[in-house]
Structure 1
């Protein structure tokens, strides 16, 4: 039975995290929406493909790699009342993340042409995509650093400040999108280039705000002494958690990115329909992600206190609430899919709207299973088990999703609608496996041995 106090603690962490990620997702949503209204399916394909590539590598190495490790380690240190240890993990996490972020940003800037060609892009999609990726590569570097600073704050239970930052980032992005894409208020009409400038500017603004807050207000400070007196054992501890977590995200995101490349071969209409559906569904990810963050933090605290029953209670509470909210998204996808799709593209794009609506209705089926996967995975990571989510993701992404995508989409070249039946199967297997493995492994004696 759910306890009132437990629900309150979960919601106080999860809801700001949900709000934060919804708002960050809205950067992509508004970019896609505004360029879709401005330039139709070619513009949607350009921004969609470029953003997908950038977000994939950011997610693998930072958002679900270093950041998850930092949140888990900081949370457990706070639970054990060891502030110095938490600050050391924070400083070293930012150092590692900074090196990785620089490598990703430089690669995106220098090799964007080759990356887009490899993705199957052609003609105008490559021309505009190179422009978009080169400009946003500047912003993405600072966005990755901001992600790690936010992970530190979440580790000690502060999800409200990252939410505030995401509001600022969105206001800057939306305002500049409106000014620079369409040329309003006598600003130059820059189209896709304007969208890229808006995104990069907003991301840099978010980092600056977070850095100032961390220096002046955060309970956990980033201290240079932990970097100058670097202890390799702590680096290894961060990598020990982040590598399996990164591999989990890689197994999912790279398979999804390859699937995106396959879909590109179906043409810009099919790709635009898929991309708009993916963008809309991306918003529904956010409740699952928010409750996953809450599970990682709260389970980490309880494991640090050696309160295993409390950790288990928080994990189940996060899961139940997350499933309920994501099931509400299912209802919207089933009842008003055409209205949602039309918000992203001109009403004259009839074929894109029809295909996208069918895809979105199919996507409604996978929502509760997606919640199971994300939140049980987050609970396991909070307890220091990042290998189990990786193994499950490897099976569902590379043994199920990718072979089916390759055959039905790339070889047979059938309708993009089948993409969503395949992803539904993937999430069903992923969610059910993680639920079963969580029940089997989340036992006090198991975690005593593991820790």
Structure 2
């Protein structure tokens, strides 16, 4: 079913997207690693709970919200050879992304302490986390706008520029982290230094992305499309973006609520879960990268009404994601303790033990995450964001959240049960995504044969 040319096309678009995702994840991992070695479990908890909230907002409203809508419509316009339509969707998407980003950041800044308190942060953790969040919100704005620009570039198959921008941001961030957290050259700033480093790196990254976009992008922002908005085009983007946002919200908010449940069970459980999640997050990147490629490639082929090729691209993306994430499964099975020791002082033996067990269990969910991510992304590329939303609602709120609440809050069991629940959730999620994709694209393929 898969030929060499298909695999090559998929890899040409997927690998830079995977690299981009890995860069951002490594940046987060090194953040936790450095702040954990600097301030121990208290610092990990403060930065961890803030980062969970900020990243959830970015993902829900921009990364899998507005950005998915932009990529899908730009790619389908390119596939249908309607360059002016691609420009129009890019222009409207950029405006919507800017409005959403400003609004979200204002809310996060104004109500940061209330949100963190509701999340379970108390005492010194609450104070430190609030100070971190107030500064990091500025970085979030730049991050959101960079994602909007990248979504336009991906829409016509350009994943190399977002990758290079990610490399640039990561290098700047890590340099600033070392300088500002540990006081090299300047006074030691600790967690506040981490927040300032985020603002600096995301700011220069956004400027670099904007300059490249204005000078080099094939799809352009045209101010005439902003000044004379077509409500139908705005509605099209929102009708795809909102269900996509709600899908990630269904998963992200359930995950956030689970994080709050774990936090209420104690600092050791929370720190263990946070470290294991941080390490595991690197394994998600192939799934995200191949998912981005699936959205673009399926969108272009659906625009051409070539549904057979759209299915072929999706299967190639799924195979690549499963193979790469399967490699991480083996690593998590073989050396979880070694990985955890990189993030926390050797004296925190209970945290090291629990985090290692969580990571070991996480190995079993990697193939399911790969399949779910790619087939959900392919459905969105085809213009169907409602099906992934329904599936995510079901698996997150009917399976994940109730079971974790029962095991952790009522039975007071170990945090490792959280990870067994997610293994079950992702398995069911993957099966449902695959079935729904086959029903939609298979039917279209038979219709246009």
Which TM-score band applies after superposition, normalised by the shorter structure? Answer: over 0.9
SS of equivalent to 1:442: helix
CA-to-aligned-CA distance 1:357-385 (integer Å, 9 cap, x gap): 00000000000000010000111111111
Q: CA deviation at 1:448?
A: 7.0
Contact between 2:332 and 2:359, CA under 8 Å: does it hold in 1?
Answer: yes
**Which residue in the other structure is 2:413 paired with?**
414
Q: C-alpha distance in 2, partners of 1:321/1:139?
A: 32
**Which residue in the other structure is 2:333 paired with?**
334
Q: C-alpha distance in 2, partners of 1:150/1:269?
A: 38
Mapping of 1:209-220 within 5 angstroms? 209-220=208-219
Q: CA deviation at 1:2?
A: 2.1
Contact between 1:308 and 1:444, CA under 8 Å: does it hold in 2?
Answer: no
Mapping of 1:307-386 within 5 angstroms? 307-386=306-385
SS of equivalent to 1:443: helix
Q: Is 1:193 matched up with 2:192?
A: yes
SS of equivalent to 2:152: helix
Contact between 1:157 and 1:297, CA under 8 Å: does it hold in 2?
Answer: yes
CA-to-aligned-CA distance 1:273-327 (integer Å, 9 cap, x gap): 1001111111111100000011111111111111111111111111111111111
**Which residue in the other structure is 1:397 paired with?**
396
Q: Greater shift after overlay, 21-30 or 392-401? A: 21-30
**Which residue in the other structure is 1:21 paired with?**
21
**Which residue in the other structure is 1:427 paired with?**
426
Unaligned runs of 5+ in 2: none
CA-to-aligned-CA distance 1:219-239 (integer Å, 9 cap, x gap): 111121111011111000000
Q: C-alpha distance in 1, partners of 2:248/2:362?
A: 20
Contact between 2:308 and 2:445, CA under 8 Å: does it hold in 1?
Answer: no
Q: C-alpha distance in 1, partners of 2:297/2:443?
A: 16
Q: Is 1:387 matched up with 2:386?
A: yes
Q: CA deviation at 1:446?
A: 7.7
Q: C-alpha distance in 2, partners of 1:16/1:229?
A: 35
Contact between 1:214 and 1:222, CA under 8 Å: does it hold in 2?
Answer: no
**Which residue in the other structure is 2:296 paired with?**
297
**Which residue in the other structure is 1:254 paired with?**
253
Q: C-alpha distance in 2, partners of 1:223/1:448?
A: 37
Q: Is 1:51 matched up with 2:75?
A: no
Q: C-alpha distance in 1, partners of 2:341/2:8?
A: 37
**Which residue in the other structure is 2:161 paired with?**
161
**Which residue in the other structure is 2:279 paired with?**
280
Q: Greater shift after overlay, 225-234 or 404-413? A: 404-413
CA-to-aligned-CA distance 1:415-448 (integer Å, 9 cap, x gap): 1111100111110110111112212222243897
CA-to-aligned-CA distance 1:378-426 (integer Å, 9 cap, x gap): 1111111111111110000000001011111122222111110011111
Contact between 2:354 and 2:416, CA under 8 Å: does it hold in 1?
Answer: yes
CA RMSD of aligned residues (A): 1.2
Q: Is 1:71 matched up with 2:67?
A: no
Q: C-alpha distance in 2, partners of 1:63/1:27?
A: 17
Q: C-alpha distance in 1, partners of 2:215/2:440?
A: 41
SS of equivalent to 2:343: coil
Contact between 1:28 and 1:51, CA under 8 Å: does it hold in 2?
Answer: no
Q: CA deviation at 1:21?
A: 0.9
Q: C-alpha distance in 2, partners of 1:205/1:282?
A: 25
Q: CA deviation at 1:24?
A: 1.1
**Which residue in the other structure is 1:112 paired with?**
112
TM-score, normalized by length of structure 1? 0.98
Change (3 A) 1:448 1:93: farther
TM-score, normalized by length of structure 2? 0.98
Change (3 A) 1:303 1:401: same
SS of equivalent to 1:363: helix
Contact between 2:75 and 2:156, CA under 8 Å: does it hold in 1?
Answer: yes
Change (3 A) 1:61 1:208: same
**Which residue in the other structure is 2:148 paired with?**
148
CA-to-aligned-CA distance 1:159-189 (integer Å, 9 cap, x gap): 00000000110011100100111111x3111
Unaligned runs of 5+ in 1: none
Q: C-alpha distance in 2, partners of 1:179/1:268?
A: 28
Contact between 2:66 and 2:97, CA under 8 Å: does it hold in 1?
Answer: yes
CA-to-aligned-CA distance 1:163-217 (integer Å, 9 cap, x gap): 0000110011100100111111x31111110111111211111111010011111
Contact between 2:307 and 2:444, CA under 8 Å: does it hold in 1?
Answer: no
**Which residue in the other structure is 1:85 paired with?**
85
